[in-house]
Amino acid sequence: MITLLISLILLCLCSLIAVSGYFLLSLSKYGGPPAGSPDGAVSVHVLVLGDIGRSPRMTYHALSIAKHGGNVNLIGYLETSPHPDVVNSANITITPLPTPPRRPPSIPFILFAPCKVLYQVYHLTRLLARTLPPAQWILVQNPPTIPTLAIASLICCLRNTRLIIDWHNYGWTILAGTRGPNHPLVALAKLYECRFGRLGDLHLTVTHAMARQLRSPPYSITQPMLAVHDRPASIFQPLTSPSTRKEILARVLPAPETDLIPSIMEGTTRLLVSSTSWTPDEDFSLLLDALVEYATTTTTTTSTPTPLLAIITGKGPQKALYLSKINQLTKEGRLPNVRIATTFLPFADYAALLACADLGVCLHMSSSGVDLPMKVVDMFGAGLPVAAYAGYESFGELVREGENGRGFETAGELAGILGRLLGGGDAGRGELERLRRGAVEEGRRRWDEEWDGKVGMVMGLVS
Ligand SMILES: *[C@@H]1O[C@H](CO)[C@@H](O)[C@H](O)[C@H]1NC(C)=O
């Protein structure tokens, strides 16, 4: 009886493998642009295993390819609305992937993860092997790494498609951050990422430091590699006049803080902006401790530092915890002259607020040490100088000390920067003004010039 059952199961498995093998090997291959399309139209599947609307870099890749006449299938989850230019572009087709079910709290991660991966494998393979025709290129975002890298490289191999891997970070370092470095899946994820990472025909990275790492063990990638730095979207622009600043402040400041607008305009209250995801990988207590120190420090030139309004934007799990801490500190009188307000703004209002602020603060701590925070890129686009956490290798590729911002690693160092730049001294004002010019300069460099000269050339879209 048992032998019969086992043979039956084996028979089923074998026929499954045979059928899927036959199906995969009989896939149509890419053999040049289809008849009827404009001469030489390049076709690209742009793939991200995430929400398209919250994948700005893949959105910009898709828009750039489309702008130069390429045909794009933008593949990912449809959770928030994608960029309007993507929706309106005649050259981009959005191809949604079904969102996998969320893990119910009662099921352990180690049991749920494989099921979720199987679900994703099925839908990804079906889409790339059956629904869509073969493309000349697949451009895939990494991470998420599992199962995208494996599926994308398999499909590329079977369909004569060339694979571009766009490295934003490493999947295994993010997993190590959330599950702990000794979790068994972390070692597996690392092995997988290193193996399949080598199968790209071209690699794009967000920093030079990441490209250097990918060339060396354990990744040991040998194919061509280009560092393509993130650039601010066109919605981030410096202010053009003081009257616009006043209008914007009236619109975007949370209601209880609008009484500060006249003094912000005069410069007798300084405006600091930080955005955070309120997660443990961004230590918000650094900023909170620095603000307490700023508020209670007197310097040789001033008896009390200039009043400060700190606007913190973003949503996330630890927000309530920190709100109660802020309330308590305020009640205890440890934040004199400092007001902290939290808010969540629509994208356009957030961009406008950045342009109105005196200083941006970024607490991003890199899990890989070689990525860069998009929010600093956006702050520069809005002409806003930054104070940013500096304890990782690629920091200097974006923030240049004393040119467009200042780096810190401890709350004390951040308090020192705040005191000097915002506290009231004339030297600090001069320095802040210089940093602002540097930020505007850095923000002038936009995505198109970065992309066209690198990716556009390699893909044959730009000559
Ligand atoms: C679409 O491609 C054509 C060339 O095939 C190009 O002229 C046009 O500007 C592109 N449109 C968009 C919205 O990118």
Closest CA to 390 of 365, 416, 415: 365
Q: For 104-154, how does the pLDDT look when each residue is reduced to its tens digit (9 = 90+)?
A: 999 888 889 889 999 999 999 999 999 999 999 999 999 999 999 999 999
CA of 90 to the centre of ligand 1 (A): 7
- The runs of H, that is alpha helices, within 160-229 are 171-179, 184-197, 208-215
What is the predicted pLDDT for the residue at 378? 95
Asked if the model's pLDDT at residue 37 lies above 60, the reply is no
Ligand 1 proximity of 91 Cβ (cutoff 6 Å): yes
Band (400; pLDDT cuts 50, 70, 90): very high
Closest CA to 178 of 113, 120, 275, 107: 113
Give the C-alpha separation, 218 to 446, whole Å. Answer: 33
Ligand 1 proximity of 38 Cβ (cutoff 6 Å): yes
- Is 167 inside any structural domain? yes
- In this prediction, residues 348-361 reach a mean pLDDT of 96
Ligand 1 proximity of 319 Cβ (cutoff 6 Å): no
Band (185; pLDDT cuts 50, 70, 90): confident
- Is 404 inside any structural domain? yes
CA of 66 to the centre of ligand 1 (A): 6
Same domain as 201, residue 73: yes
Residue of the nearest CA to atom 13 in ligand 1?
A: 89
Ligand 1 proximity of 421 Cβ (cutoff 6 Å): no
Q: Is the torsion defined by CA of 67, 68, 73, 75 positive or negative? A: negative
Least confident of 40-44, 149-153, 305-309: 40-44
Give the ligand 1 atom nearest the CA of 90: 13
Same domain as 145, residue 171: yes
Same domain as 198, residue 74: yes
Provide the number of structural domains found in the chain.
2
Same domain as 210, residue 169: yes
Ligand 1 proximity of 92 Cβ (cutoff 6 Å): no
- Is 22 inside any structural domain? no
- Is 10 inside any structural domain? no
- Is 26 inside any structural domain? no
Give the C-alpha separation, 166 to 122, whole Å. Answer: 23
Band (374; pLDDT cuts 50, 70, 90): very high
CA of 68 to the centre of ligand 1 (A): 6
- Is 20 inside any structural domain? no
Residue of the nearest CA to atom 7 in ligand 1?
A: 69
What is the predicted pLDDT for the residue at 280? 79
CA of 87 to the centre of ligand 1 (A): 14
Asked if the model's pLDDT at residue 25 lies above 70, the reply is no
Ligand 1 proximity of 84 Cβ (cutoff 6 Å): no
CA of 134 to the centre of ligand 1 (A): 21
Same domain as 160, residue 308: no
Show Cβ contacts of residue 181 under 8 Å, excluding neighbours closer than 6 positions: none
Band (20; pLDDT cuts 50, 70, 90): low
CA of 392 to the centre of ligand 1 (A): 40
Band (427; pLDDT cuts 50, 70, 90): confident
Hey, which of 64, 89, 91 would you mutate to test ligand 1's pocket, going by the most ligand atoms within 8 Å of its Cβ? 91
Same domain as 195, residue 61: yes
Residue 414 belongs to a domain with what CATH number? 3.40.50.2000
Burial of 330 (0-12, 13-18, 19+ CB in 10 A): middle
Domain that holds residue 384: 242-444
Same domain as 188, residue 165: yes
For the entire predicted model, the pTM comes to 0.85
- In this prediction, residues 83-108 reach a mean pLDDT of 94
Same domain as 248, residue 227: no
As a whole number, the mean pLDDT across the chain is 90
- Bigger pLDDT: 343 or 14? 343
What is the predicted pLDDT for the residue at 34? 60
- Is 56 inside any structural domain? yes
- Is 203 inside any structural domain? yes
Same domain as 308, residue 211: no
Give the C-alpha separation, 92 to 72, whole Å. Answer: 5
Same domain as 210, residue 192: yes
Same domain as 85, residue 179: yes
Concatenating the DSSP letter of every residue in 329-390 gives: HHHTT-STTEEEEEE---HHHHHHHHHH-SEEEE----SSSS---HHHHHHHHTT--EEEE-
Q: Is 97 helix (H, G, I), strand (E, B) or coil?
A: coil
Same domain as 428, residue 366: yes
Residue of the nearest CA to atom 12 in ligand 1?
A: 67
Ligand 1 proximity of 114 Cβ (cutoff 6 Å): no
